[in-house]
C-alpha cells in the first residue's frame, strides 16, 4: 500500500465531520506509543512550553541519577538512551528555543556528572554532535536569542 501525501491527507481530513476525526485520532493513538505521546503533548502540554521543557529536564535529572557510573560501557549505553528519549520529546515541540535549552541542559548535566566522558571517543563524539546540533538550531533563531544562547554554549565548549 502506498501512503498518501500530506497534502492529500489534509484535504481528506478537512472533509470529515468532527466525530469521525476524533475516532481517527483515537485509532491512530492505539497503534503506536509515539502517536499517543504526541497527542498527549498537543492536547495537554503544548499550551505551556516552559513547563514541558521543565518536565524534560526533570526526566534527564532522574536518568542521570540512575546511571551506572563505575562501568563506562553501560554508562555510554544509558547516555545514548537518555539522549534518544530526549530527542523524541524535543521533536514533539517543534520549538527551537526548547531544543536549545534542553540539549544545553543535557550537556551541562553530563559535564557536572563526573563521568569521564573525555576518556571515551564515543562519548566525545556524542558531545560534539550535540554541540553541532545546538549551533545549527541557534543559527536559525532571532539575533537577540542567538546572542544569549551562544553565551551559554561557550561555557560548554572547551
Sequence-distant (6+) residues with CB within 8 A of 33 are: none
Q: How many C-beta neighbours within 10 Å does residue 14 have?
A: 8
114 SS3 class: coil
Examine residue 84 and state whether it is found in any structural domain, yes or no: yes
Sequence-distant (6+) residues with CB within 8 A of 150 are: 138
pLDDT digits (tens, 9 = 90+) for 14-56: 999 999 989 988 898 898 888 899 889 988 998 999 999 999 9
**Which residue range forms the structural domain that includes residue 103?**
49-154
Examine residue 58 and state whether it is found in any structural domain, yes or no: yes
Output the pLDDT for position 79: 93
Examine residue 136 and state whether it is found in any structural domain, yes or no: yes
H or E segment and range at residue 83:
helix 72-93
Cell of 55: 518536565
Examine residue 132 and state whether it is found in any structural domain, yes or no: yes
Q: Is-contact 130 84, C-beta < 8 A?
A: no
CA distance 135 to 141: 10
pLDDT digits (tens, 9 = 90+) for 61-107: 999 999 887 888 899 999 999 999 999 999 998 889 999 999 999 99
Examine residue 55 and state whether it is found in any structural domain, yes or no: yes
Output the pLDDT for position 52: 93
Output the pLDDT for position 56: 95
CA distance 17 to 21: 6
Domain tally, the chain? 1
Output the pLDDT for position 158: 60
CA distance 151 to 148: 5
Examine residue 107 and state whether it is found in any structural domain, yes or no: yes
Q: Helical H runs in 94-120?
A: 96-112
Examine residue 62 and state whether it is found in any structural domain, yes or no: yes
Residue 146 has pLDDT above 90, yes or no: no
Examine residue 77 and state whether it is found in any structural domain, yes or no: yes
CA distance 80 to 123: 9
Output the pLDDT for position 98: 92
pLDDT digits (tens, 9 = 90+) for 47-63: 999 999 999 999 999 99
Amino acid at each position: 500500500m502506498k501512503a498518501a501525501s500530506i497534502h492529500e491527507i489534509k484535504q481528506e481530513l478537512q472533509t470529515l465531520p468532527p466525530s469521525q476525526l476524533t475516532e481517527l485520532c483515537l485509532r491512530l493513538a492505539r497503534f503506536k506509543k509515539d502517536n499517543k505521546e504526541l497527542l498527549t503533548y498537543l492536547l495537554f502540554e503544548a499550551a505551556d512550553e516552559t513547563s514541558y521543557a521543565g518536565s524534560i529536564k526533570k526526566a534527564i535529572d532522574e536518568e542521570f541519577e540512575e546511571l551506572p557510573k563505575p562501568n563506562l560501557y553501560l554508562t555510554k549505553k544509558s547516555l545514548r538512551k537518555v539522549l534518544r528519549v530526549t530527542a523524541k520529546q524535543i521533536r514533539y515541540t517543534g520549538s527551537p528555543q526548547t531544543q536549545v535549552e534542553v540539549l544545553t541542559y543535557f550537556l551541562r548535566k553530563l559535564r557536572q556528572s563526573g563521568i569521564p566522558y573525555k576518556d571515551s571517543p564515543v562519548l566525545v563524539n556524542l558531545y560534539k554532535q550535540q554541540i553541532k546540533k545546538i549551533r545549527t538550531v541557534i543559527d536559525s533563531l532571532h539575533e537577540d536569542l542567538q546572542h544569549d544562547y551562544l553565551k551559554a554554549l561557550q561555557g560548554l565548549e572547551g
